Structure 1
Amino acid sequence: MSGLIALFDDVAAIAKVAAASVDDVIGQAAKAGTKAAGAVIDDAAVSPKYVQGFEASRELPIIWRITKGSLKNKLVFLLPAGLALSAFAPWLIAPLLMLGGAYLCFEGAEKIAHAIGMSDAHKDYAAAATTVEDPASLEEEKAKGAIKTDFILSAEIMTIALAAIPESNFWMEAATLATVAVMITVAVYGSVALIVKMDDLGLAMANHGRLGVTRSLGRGLVKGMPGFLNLLTIIGTGAMLWVGGSIIVHGLEVLGFGTIGHWIHDVAVSIGQAVPLSLQGITQWIAKAAMDGVFGVVLGLLFIPIGEKIVTPAWRALFKSRAKKA
């Protein structure tokens, strides 16, 4: 009897350790995921365009296919690469993170430049795109393009998450990164699915609602979705510039160039001290985020010529040559 009680005690102790480990993994994954906010929001803002022009019945299947591709990108390719990087070349994490930050700054600044008429980077490529009349072929092409784009954003997300995870053992890092991958993918594409079906829901409510309030709400959803998508794009662009700028500032500090980071911190503290004590923390955070974002805009504008004249043509040529070989 005493042996059975001792066994139960051991099982209970193991269960407590396992539960604590799960809590640690989820907690670290949540913290790491928040660091990737800019890329995550941009992913959610960009993805709905891939189902535009398709029948409503094909929207969710396309999103599901992209979701599976995103999970494959993160779990099959990027997770092992991230763990290998952490184990054998941790010194590369900061430079790669800065490279991802530079891409975020470039993308954010390019969207701003395009919105105000300063950049026509994608017009030539859009015009050169092959017209595909077969819906199945078009769906295949769109899904593949979305998964390729997702790979870049997923690489940023996983690198940011890897840098945010506290140093621990291999299995803890693997579990945390895998949790980040699944949580973010579900959050992004679950949100995308809700967004793209919201107008259909609104249309159904407007046409078949029994109550006047229901029909009015449905019409409001249909009319409001374009504005909501525009707002989401603006928020995503701002988040990209904030996160990209802060990544580069932090990376410079890690590499021994902390002048900009120290200046931003000192200015944010000074601004925070000008408000009541209860508001100092949030004021400092907002001031720092704003300055990181402005820094991101400046860097992004400097990166636009490099991206448009060198990186983007090279990227297109690479995929064009691969498509010909296939």
Structure 2
Amino acid sequence: METHHIRLTSSEVGSLWANYMADSMFVCVYQYYLAKVEDSEIKKVLEHALDLAQQHVQVVTKIFKEEGHAIPLGFTENDVNVKAPRLFSDAFFLFFTKQMTKGALVTYGAMLPHTFRNDIREHFMSCISSAMELLNDTTNVLLSKGIEVRSPYIPYLQEVDMVEKQHFLAGWWGKQRPLIAAEITHLFSNIQTNHMGSAVITGFAQVVKAKDVQNYFIRGKEISKKQIEVFSKYLHENDLPAPVTWDAQVQDITESPFSDKIMLYIISLMNAAGMGNYGAAISASPRRDIGAVYVRLLGEIGLYAEDGINLQIKHAWLERPPHAADREKLMK
């Protein structure tokens, strides 16, 4: 029978460390959101999100202490100012929560298969279960308020039909086949994600203190805008609607509720999520032209993300993740 004293593996340590970093950030974010929210239904969702983030931080802290592993610095009360004016609307708090919860489900799902100790598996299974519950609560409130953005409708299939021609994969020249449901899903979802990123980065660019970080945010907004146009073109060519922007949910204030460090970290998480989304979209998009577009835009985000990491290093904001032993250094 497995016992608790078995050492954590590299994948377990890495997953727990990433879990702590992200949720210590979410604790700061939701403390600020709760200080500003006015809608009682949305407030309950935000309280739920904060409670989950605090639980995860506590669990990881306990495990690391028992293992004699250093507790990450992560993010603290020094990274949030709950007294700052409102930067985003109540509706934005809800949109943000749903997008972050969708990302959490993907992240936890990727972490779980690489955990082995029973207590670690139970932790990430609990994370998945609670994220599903939060996603459900968030969606219900969005629907009840009439602000949920549904993906496009397409006709039901009336009969089974087999693909008979290679044209199914075509897309470079000439007449192209209609988008399939999976392609529509990913195009629509990636437009939504970019709209969310654009709104977040618009607010951050207004309040950030470091000029080089502000320039980085402005560049990110331009990238999002361009990629939204690319994806929307495919939907419009098939007479399908594209999601609208959320920039109107950003208030015109300049006093920052967050440290530059935490804002840059949030954008780095969104970059990573975007790259993961595009990778999944490539595998679900048989049309060659669509796959090629995702590959090109994935490279663009990758270069942008690298520049963000360089900024974190420059300002001494990048905490070193758990890593393998440097044997050469040890033998000197």
Q: TM-score, normalised by structure 2?
A: 0.30
Look at both structures and tell me which one has the larger radius of gyration over its CA atoms: 1
Query: Which has the larger share of helix?
Result: 1
Q: Which has the higher contact order (CA 8 A, sep 6+)?
A: 1
Q: TM-score, normalised by structure 1?
A: 0.31
